[in-house]
């Protein structure tokens, strides 16, 4: 995760009531890193209009959809970040949730002696 993306995530988690130690554990960084990210976070920028995001760079291409573009613009404005960083964060969060569910399921299977 890039420093810019991490700062967005740290700010978001702080706004949702997590303390630096909890955030550090969640992101697998030190509490000092979290505190530095909070200190060095860029000032909030208020914009009146949301401009269209640039076309996607080669790599992850999705079919163009008005709703997808609007959703991505809304997230980018909310997190005060580039669309690419917001998309990376959203994909990371979704994948982490699935990893945790799978790990919990495999751990439960191991406790019950079930092997696949």
- The 10s digit of each residue's pLDDT in 75-90 is 888 878 888 888 888 8
Q: pTM of whole model > 0.75?
A: no
What are phi and psi for residue 56, nearest 5 degrees? -65, 145
State residue 36's pLDDT score: 92
- The 10s digit of each residue's pLDDT in 46-74 is 555 666 777 656 666 667 788 888 888 88
Distance CA 50, CA 74 (A): 8
- Alpha helix ranges (H) inside the chain: 3-15, 20-27, 31-39, 66-79, 83-112
Residues 6+ apart with CB under 8 A from 84: 57
| % of the chain surpassing 90 pLDDT | 11
State residue 44's pLDDT score: 57
């Amino acid at each position: 995760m890039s420093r810019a993306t991490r700062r967005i995530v740290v700010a978001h988690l702080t706004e949702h009531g997590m303390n630096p130690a909890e955030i550090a554990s969640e992101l697998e960084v030190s509490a000092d890193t979290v505190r530095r990210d909070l200190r060095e976070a860029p000032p909030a920028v208020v914009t009146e209009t949301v401009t269209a995001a640039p076309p996607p760079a080669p790599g992850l291409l999705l079919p163009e959809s008005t709703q997808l573009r609007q959703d991505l613009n809304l997230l980018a404005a909310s997190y005060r970040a580039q669309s690419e960083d917001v998309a990376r964060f959203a994909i990371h969060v979704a994948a982490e949730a699935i990893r945790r569910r799978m790990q919990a399921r495999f751990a439960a299977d191991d406790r019950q002696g079930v092997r696949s």
